[in-house]
Amino acid sequence: MEHKALGSTDMMIPEVGLGVWRYNGGVEPLRTGIELGAFLIDTAEIYGTEEVVGQAIAGLRDRVVLATKVSGNHLRSDEVRRAAEASLRRLNTDILDLYQVHWPNPGVPIQDTMRAMESLVDDGLVKHIGVSNFSLHQLQAAQASLRNAPIVANQVLYNLNRRGIEADLLPYCLEQHITIIAYTPLDDGRLATPAVFPHDWRMRAVEQVAAFSQKTPAQVALNWCTSHPNVVVIPKSNSPARIMENCQASGWRLSLEQLHYLNATFA
């Protein structure tokens, strides 16, 4: 498994982690992922999966980079702290490696939210601060609201079919040393099963690259994401076998020709 720095920190994270949105696989698939090197686990208070993550990392906490999120409905100062403390209890840990604002709430001043997030760092409950679903403008406003702790990650939708962040957010985050955590990197499984879409000529391109590389379509789609130096992916799977497949998307690279071909095909 290849690793990348989390933002500008010295914390190293795997380029393929484990997402648990709509996850119902129990403890074993997550432990399989950890054993295979996918030790970044990302959850959220609204997912209802913090408890199972806490069970999965029991006895393994020092081997895991643990990330969760505060709901966009809980962004007032007192709500942020209560949400973080509740997540810590559900995860059965005393510190979060990455705590993220799940989505921006225009009804709450971003300054109040980010100062509350920073206070969690000051008090030793959180190591690093991130955001999720923030546009470039929203990210910049959040950055300007922090005094000491930087924003190290922005978790956003990104895959071959959904490339909107490439216009401005992706290059800005690269310049600012902010990690992009790509959720839904397989487009809800569509990119993992291109044969299901026989009339979509773009999916045939994924199959062609996979056949030439002797990889699976899912591995090609994930590797395309992580070909960007500041992008990691957090695919979700309830199956240990599929988690193993996803982990094998790391440790190799698509060629420049293959990247150009996929970029042109999915433009």
The verdict on residue 267 lying in a domain is no
Residues 169 and 81: their CA atoms lie apart, in Å, by 28
Q: What are phi and psi of 73, to 5 degrees?
A: -90, 0
Question: Residue 125: what pLDDT?
Answer: 98
The verdict on residue 136 lying in a domain is yes
* Structure-token match 């002797």, residue found: 214
Residues 258 and 238: their CA atoms lie apart, in Å, by 30
Q: Which of 216, 185, 212, 190 is nearest to 203 (CA)?
A: 190
To the query of whether residue 47 is one of the catalytic residues in this protein, the response is: yes
Question: Residue 198: what pLDDT?
Answer: 80
The verdict on residue 265 lying in a domain is no
Cβ proximity of 165 and 141 under 8 Å: no
The domain spanning residue 75 has which CATH number? 3.20.20.100
Question: Residue 27: what pLDDT?
Answer: 97
Q: Which of 239, 76, 97 is nearest to 181 (CA)?
A: 97
The verdict on residue 211 lying in a domain is no
Residues 134 and 169: their CA atoms lie apart, in Å, by 9
Mean pLDDT for each 10-residue chunk of the chain (267 residues)? 98 98 97 98 98 98 98 97 98 98 98 98 98 98 97 98 98 98 97 86 94 98 98 97 98 98 97
The verdict on residue 214 lying in a domain is no
Range of the domain at 106: 3-189+219-253
Q: Which residues contact 238 (CB under 8 A, 6 or more apart)?
A: 23, 24, 25, 26, 29
Residues 27 and 267: their CA atoms lie apart, in Å, by 38
| DSSP per position, the chain | --EEESTTSS-EEESB-EE-TT----HHHHHHHHHTT--EEE--TTTT-HHHHHHHTTTTGGG-EEEEEE-TT--SHHHHHHHHHHHHHHHT-S-EEEEEE-S--TTS-HHHHHHHHHHHHHTTSEEEEEEES--HHHHHHHHHT-SSSPEEEEEEE-BTTB-GGGTTHHHHHHHHT-EEEEESTTTTTGGG-GGG-TT-HHHHHHHHHHHHHT--HHHHHHHHHHTSTTEEE----S-HHHHHHHHTTSSS---HHHHHHHHHHT-
Question: Residue 197: what pLDDT?
Answer: 82
The verdict on residue 263 lying in a domain is no
The tokens for 72 are 């966009």
Question: Residue 126: what pLDDT?
Answer: 98
The verdict on residue 259 lying in a domain is no
Q: How many domains does the chain have?
A: 1
Q: Which of 144, 147, 138 is nearest to 169 (CA)?
A: 138
Cβ proximity of 132 and 69 under 8 Å: yes
The verdict on residue 11 lying in a domain is yes
Q: Find the catalytic residue in 47, 99, 158, 183.
A: 47
Q: Which residues contact 246 (CB under 8 A, 6 or more apart)?
A: 16, 38, 218, 219, 222, 235, 237
